[in-house]
Structure 1
Amino acid sequence: MGRRLTQLDAQSFLDIENGSAYAPYPRQQHAWFGIVFWNIQASTQHYIWFIKLPLDEQGLVVAAARNHFLDIIVDALGQSIADDAEKAQTLPDNPYSFVPGQSLLAQFNAMVKYTLDVPINEEAQKVEAYLKAPQLVDWQQISMQSVADFAQTLNNHEKSASVIKAFLDNYTLYANVFANTYMEMCENVALPETFELFCIDNLQREEEVSLSALRALSAPHFNDRINACLKSLLTESASQRIDILSVIAARHFEQMDESLLRVFLEQSARVDELEGHNGALFSGFFSDLVQIPKLRRQVLTLMRSPDRSKTLAQAFDRLFAQARK
């Protein structure tokens, strides 16, 4: 649950837990997990733990922290957690639990229900009705969870094509809150090409950048169109905002080839200077990106590159100076 919601098979999770594999999507020097479990004899009742484990400078789970968490759980609940799932509903106080934000929690719940083949409910069906006839449905009666549940079916709903067409055709008729929520709830869903192109076209209207469209474009693999779109955006003054840079760093790391990484860090350095953060903003983005396994070598190479721009050179010099203090 770090930079995107991704299902992990049992062996991959075990490897990460044991420190033999990197946490794939670290955020704020932690690996973030939502763990769903249940008693086999009562499989309709599910329980969820949200835990975050600290990572070392290489991006591996700190074993001492993992062991400390397990000691807390075993002391409080006993060895057989699954057999005493009632107790497991509420974790004992510990520094490793977290509560996801409303948006992330809605997306997580939607993914879990979809994975476990829980049928879409009537509330989610209201989303389809509003998408197709916004004049006839009160959007204020639709919950964020319902939007997330429906968005999760974007590529597998029997009427997916007509729903997407309706969204594109009726976009200007929707309440802004609903339209932005719907796009945001699609950030962990593979977008059909028409929807992706729509988000790219609507990413920037006049001087305002749509954070919802930017989040919706999050993709699990490199995408030429999204990469080009981000490069263009980062050369414009409209992207000189911390929230925009934060979404790009968090959601679009898969698009960061050498050139996009360079442009992103240059823009981060400019915003740092413009807003008087004295290197703290640039340092934060650098520390965040260097811990992503697939970006670590690129970030370190750029840091030492003789071809880096004056803006980047000054930002890195300041970073080194702060590290020596």
Structure 2
Amino acid sequence: MEKLLTQLLQHDDNRLRIFDMGRRISKLPIDTFTRVEQNRIPYPLPFLHHAWVGLLLWNPSAKDQNLIWFLKLPLDEQGYLIQAARDDIVNRLLQNAIDPQSEQDALKDNPFAFTPDQEKMASFHALASCTLKTPASRYYEDVQQYLAGQLDRDYWSNLGLQGLADYVMRLDQGDNTNQLCKCISQLPEPLLLMLARLLEHTQPNPALQQRLADHLLQLLQHADTPPELIAALIRSLCGGSDKIRDQAIDAVLASPYALEAEVIVALATRCHTSLNQPQRLQRFLEQLAAGKAGQLGFNRILSDLMFLADLRPRILEAFRDPNRSEQLSQAIGEMLGSGFSTTGHAH
């Protein structure tokens, strides 16, 4: 019988956790990934036509010697794993099965390895230390003290990215969530921006999510709010309650900020489940067509969204809406005329 990646990695005393790394970091059940490997289901969270996965491997008796790998696996037009890519990694592992160091090399030095950006890497390390129940980084305490108001307000620039990621992944510990709720609206803008982007990998409780949403709604009232801050706050809401997130998204779509490229990208890449609602999807498409992302942005964003099985028929239905604007009709025409395939993505 054909060997599976999950079988090869869970040997002896090894423990394995798999995380999706595409849009945001989220736990991927091993049985789900096994079914993806067996081509029984499409990859559930495709991003840019790939499965982006993080693998955390450890021995319970030596947690400090854990191994972390990141793999970017190509998907076919229907979102199924391209077997040749998986087979290549499995073969590398089988060739090096005797030597654990070689196993590490087999997963790192292969054409499907990738390195996440700094923020994602910090968040993954924070999540790994929570999973393994090992201590946070030495920068964590500084962040705790700062957000509790125990350090000078200007000290924020000394806070380390890893410490911020550790804090965000430990919102359920001590008084962390409560402290963050209290100080959100007073935080220096660069710090709020960073914390908001890190929060996308968590599920903030309703109280914190509501504070973030309220702050976002306040910022929408000002014409001089940086678009990247609006985008970051949208990202901070994506993992929590649907109702709070959807109300905030509706307010963003009704504002001039929806025309900003980074804002519309944050909505598309982090809040795609909210776009399943037909009226919201229609508003999103109208703003995307009219916005600063331009025709190229329109094509790229929809190429990615139409790869999601649940959104694809809704987008095609919205394309046929007789009430769509001339601007949206034109953008759709340009996209379809540029070799865009309605069975897949832009060529």
TM-score category (smaller protein): 0.7 to 0.9
Contact 2:232 2:266 in 1 (8 A): no
**Cα deviation 1:207-245 (Å, max 9, x = unaligned):** 224232122111266x22321321221232222122111
TM-score normalised by structure 1 residue count: 0.86
Describe the shift of the 1:66–1:9 C-alpha distance in structure 2 as closer, same or farther (beyond 3 A).
same
**Cα deviation 1:143-189 (Å, max 9, x = unaligned):** 111111111111x2122454234324xx42x3332222222221122
Matched residue, 2:164: 147
- Structure 1 stretch 309-318 or stretch 253-262: which is displaced more? 309-318
CA distance in 2, matches of 1:190, 1:22: 25
**Could you list the runs of 5+ residues in structure 2 that have no partner in the other structure?**
1-20, 341-346
Contact 1:27 1:288 in 2 (8 A): yes
CA distance in 2, matches of 1:300, 1:11: 32
CA distance in 1, matches of 2:61, 2:300: 47
Alignment size in residue pairs? 311
CA shift, 1:248, in A, is: 1.0
Report sequence identity in percent: 26
* Structure 2 residue identity aligned to 1:86: Q
User: What's the secondary structure of 2:139's corresponding residue?
Assistant: helix
Would you say 1:228 and 2:243 are equivalent positions? no
Matched residue, 2:191: 178
CA distance in 2, matches of 1:270, 1:176: 28
* Structure 1 residue identity aligned to 2:233: A
Contact 2:209 2:244 in 1 (8 A): no
CA shift, 1:199, in A, is: 1.8
Describe the shift of the 1:79–1:300 C-alpha distance in structure 2 as closer, same or farther (beyond 3 A).
farther
Would you say 1:216 and 2:236 are equivalent positions? yes
- Structure 1 stretch 208-217 or stretch 281-290: which is displaced more? 208-217
CA shift, 1:116, in A, is: 1.8
Pairing partner for 2:122 from 100, 103, 106 = 106
Alignment of 1:7-46 (within 5 A): 7-39=27-59, 42-46=62-66
CA shift, 1:19, in A, is: 2.0
CA shift, 1:40, in A, is: 6.2
Describe the shift of the 1:319–1:136 C-alpha distance in structure 2 as closer, same or farther (beyond 3 A).
closer
CA shift, 1:130, in A, is: 0.2
- Structure 1 stretch 226-235 or stretch 248-257: which is displaced more? 226-235
RMSD: 2.4
Would you say 1:294 and 2:310 are equivalent positions? yes
Matched residue, 1:166: 182
Describe the shift of the 1:202–1:296 C-alpha distance in structure 2 as closer, same or farther (beyond 3 A).
same
User: What's the secondary structure of 1:323's corresponding residue?
Assistant: coil
User: What's the secondary structure of 2:199's corresponding residue?
Assistant: coil
Matched residue, 2:101: 86
Describe the shift of the 1:189–1:62 C-alpha distance in structure 2 as closer, same or farther (beyond 3 A).
same
CA distance in 1, matches of 2:210, 2:63: 41
Contact 1:51 1:96 in 2 (8 A): yes
- Structure 1 stretch 303-312 or stretch 254-263: which is displaced more? 303-312
CA distance in 1, matches of 2:108, 2:159: 34
Contact 2:137 2:162 in 1 (8 A): no
**Could you list the runs of 5+ residues in structure 1 that have no partner in the other structure?**
none
Describe the shift of the 1:192–1:42 C-alpha distance in structure 2 as closer, same or farther (beyond 3 A).
closer
Matched residue, 2:22: 2
Matched residue, 2:8: none
Matched residue, 1:188: 201
User: What's the secondary structure of 1:45's corresponding residue?
Assistant: strand
CA shift, 1:121, in A, is: 4.7
CA distance in 2, matches of 1:149, 1:319: 42
Highest RCO, 1 vs 2 (Cα 8 Å, sep ≥ 6): 1
- Structure 1 stretch 224-233 or stretch 48-57: which is displaced more? 224-233
Contact 1:22 1:293 in 2 (8 A): no
Would you say 1:316 and 2:332 are equivalent positions? yes
